[in-house]
Structure 1
Amino acid sequence: MLTVQYARAYPNLRINVVDPGPTATDLNRFQGSQTVEQGAAPIVEAALTTRQGPSGTFVDGAAISPW
C-alpha cells in the first residue's frame, strides 16, 4: 500500500516494487532456481521505466501482479 500511496503522491515519478524471485546468490547458498542475470532483469527493466510506464505496481519476476 505504501507503494501505491507514494505513486499517487508523486505522479511525475515511476514508483514500483519488484520481487525478482528465487535467485541463486550467496545469501541463500546458491539455492535459488534462477541465475543472478535472470533475477536482475526485472529490476533493470523497472529502473528503465519511462514516464509513460506503470507506477504503483508490484512486479513478480516477469509480469505485473495484482495487489
Structure 2
Amino acid sequence: MLNLAYTSSKAAVNMITVAYAKELWDTPIKVNAVDPGWVRTDINHGTGIKSPEEGAAPILAMVLLGPDGPTAAFVQDEGRLPW
C-alpha cells in the first residue's frame, strides 16, 4: 500500500532541493539530493541491504564536492539519477 505521507514528503524534499539549488546557482553553495539506498536502520527494522557506512558513502562524496561539482542533482552510488 502506498504511504501517502511518506511519498508526499519525499516529493516536497525533491522540490525544495531544486528550488534552493536554483536560488543559490551563482554562489559556491551546492544543493543536491542523495539516495543512500536501502540501508539497515531502525525505521526498517534492520532489513536494509546496505550497512550504515555503505549508505553514508554517497552522502560523504557529495559533502566533499569541489567547486566544479554538480548542483540540483539527484545522486546515488551509481551516479546521477533523473528527477
- For the aligned pair, the TM-score class normalised by the smaller chain equals 0.7 to 0.9
Q: How does 1:55-66 map to 2 (within 5 A)?
A: 55-66=71-82
Structure 1 runs of 4+ aligned residues shifted over 4 Å read none
Aligned mate of 1:2, from 7, 13, 16: 16
Q: Deviations over 1:17-66 (max 9, x none)?
A: 01101001222111001111110000111111121100001113431101
- More relative contact order in 1 or in 2 (CA 8 Å, sep 6+)? 1
* Consecutive unaligned residues in structure 1, runs of 5 or more: none
Which protein is richer in helix relative to its size? Answer: 2
* TM-score, L = length of structure 2: 0.72
1:53 paired to 2:66: no
Q: Which range moves more in the overlay, 37-46 or 20-29? A: 20-29
Residue 42 of structure 1 contacts residue 62 of structure 1 at CA under 8 Å; is this kept in 2?
A: no
TM (norm. structure 1) is 0.86
Does the CA-based 8 Å contact 1:24-1:34 persist in structure 2?
Answer: yes
* SS of aligned partner of 1:59: strand
Which residue of structure 2 lines up, in the alignment, with residue 39 of structure 1? 55
Could you tell me the percent identity over the aligned residues? 40
CA-atom RMSD in angstroms: 1.3
Query: Does the CA contact (< 8 Å) of 1:25 and 1:31 recur in 2?
Result: yes
Gapped regions of structure 2 (runs ≥ 5) = 1-14
Number of residue pairs matched? 67
